[in-house]
Structure 1
């Protein structure tokens, strides 16, 4: 039987391993409180019991890391990375998204509901193995799986395929790594735009925080002390108080404002000092 092993980081950089639809490993985190989970689930402490319960819910509800994986969804929250991408695909400003899906690896997607379904409820995907049923569902929607044999996670190779296919406005979702700089520096024609959305920033170093802001377009705060500190110093536009989404470029601000306009929310602001009364604790 082929290996079935998926590693994610979630809820404050907790490492979780899922094998054959079962949780086989749960790490621990110094972050004990998340305002988003408190608002949604009335949870005061992110302990192992809650983490297991939450991951099992994802497995049962939409088949995360299993052959039952649901890949098309409607909006899940008001403003998240996948919702921003979905809105800007629907209005024609983004042609395709290079993302990552459990059971498939790097995927090039052109269907907004697939972008939402793949990215909406999954945290940082560290590694994954192929699930043929998931790969078929993705390919049936017109998505391109980078490597169906290995489920490789490689957003740079995904960008290359998107360019080869003729896409001009390419968004990439990526977790912090040196590849972000490679993505930004990759040579493209004048009529090709590459937009970088950086998620899962909890635990980054000060150097990494500076790098993602200098090379990205949208940066999520997550529970990152260094991202929060960088924002306080450089004062980018942002949206949200509990877990802000920062605009690292004017393009990022435009994409975020497009989403906010659609749902009739106040547009991005650069009001500083930010209200941090209900932030994740502690920041990592």
Structure 2
């Protein structure tokens, strides 16, 4: 099953390179997508249309998936990790990709190529062509059999592979807190980046801010305050 949340957490399901369903978002307007794509009102229909645009133009959830792209915004999680690797601040990144799940890589181009198109990836089916493309760009797919997303196991793999300072994207406080524990047991330094946080609770926001290094506010009132 392929599910991604985008444009105000509209939960969009994709099958056979087609949008099957999209839920109502929790916001009505996004300044970023208004500027980039001219979307004046965020609705289930506009979220579905944007997902279809990504499928058609970027090959998301398909064997045509593009794994290279330029900078989308100057402040995104993938852009930050790409810059961090290039500058030597981090050695690698543990992130996700549709068609693959959790991916570990030290290739800054791959980090941006995968992450620049993604909003909140919840589930994905493995796609052999996508995983092979990732492998050719020096990426490691954590679970090629099922495309599982597991950032904690991805971080453990990165530590076991010899990376001593790396970034990990997470979407909830519990994962961030678990990564801090892994830091202690594995003797590594983890740059924790909180992503896809629109609509989180005040308690979740407080815990995430305490555990993470970088937190993207998205449309979260509690993160901003």
Where structure 1 has 5 or more consecutive residues not aligned to the other structure, the ranges are 230-284
Number of the residue aligned with 1:101: 97
How many angstroms apart in 1 are the aligned matches of 2:77 and 2:121?
15
Matches within 5 A, 1:40-189: 40-186=36-182, 187-189=184-186
Q: Of 1, 6, 21, which aligns to 1:10?
A: 6
What do you get for the CA RMSD once the two structures are aligned?
1.2
Q: Would you say 1:195 and 2:191 are equivalent positions?
A: yes
Q: Given the two structures, how large is their TM-score scaled by the length of structure 1?
A: 0.76
Count, aligned residues: 224
Q: Would you say 1:29 and 2:43 are equivalent positions?
A: no
How many angstroms apart in 2 are the aligned matches of 1:178 and 1:100?
18
How many angstroms apart in 2 are the aligned matches of 1:199 and 1:125?
10
Number of the residue aligned with 1:227: 223
How many angstroms apart in 2 are the aligned matches of 1:175 and 1:219?
10
State the Cα distance separating 1:30 from its structure 2 match.
3.2
Q: Which has the larger radius of gyration?
A: 1
How many angstroms apart in 2 are the aligned matches of 1:129 and 1:40?
28
How many angstroms apart in 2 are the aligned matches of 1:135 and 1:198?
25
Number of the residue aligned with 1:206: 202
How many angstroms apart in 2 are the aligned matches of 1:101 and 1:118?
6
State the Cα distance separating 1:177 from its structure 2 match.
4.7
Q: Given the two structures, how large is their TM-score scaled by the length of structure 2?
A: 0.95
Number of the residue aligned with 1:232: none
State the Cα distance separating 1:41 from its structure 2 match.
2.6
Where structure 2 has 5 or more consecutive residues not aligned to the other structure, the ranges are none
Report Cα offsets for 1:137-183 as digits up to 9, x if no partner.
11111111111001111111111111111111110011125222111
State the Cα distance separating 1:48 from its structure 2 match.
2.9
Q: Larger % of helix: which?
A: 2
Number of the residue aligned with 1:20: 16
- Label 1:147 to 1:189 Cα distance change in 2 as closer, same or farther (>3 A): closer
- Label 1:152 to 1:30 Cα distance change in 2 as closer, same or farther (>3 A): closer
State the Cα distance separating 1:49 from its structure 2 match.
2.9
How many angstroms apart in 2 are the aligned matches of 1:42 and 1:144?
36
- Label 1:215 to 1:53 Cα distance change in 2 as closer, same or farther (>3 A): same
Report Cα offsets for 1:184-240 as digits up to 9, x if no partner.
1113455x21110010001111111011111100001111122122xxxxxxxxxxx
How many angstroms apart in 2 are the aligned matches of 1:74 and 1:41?
16
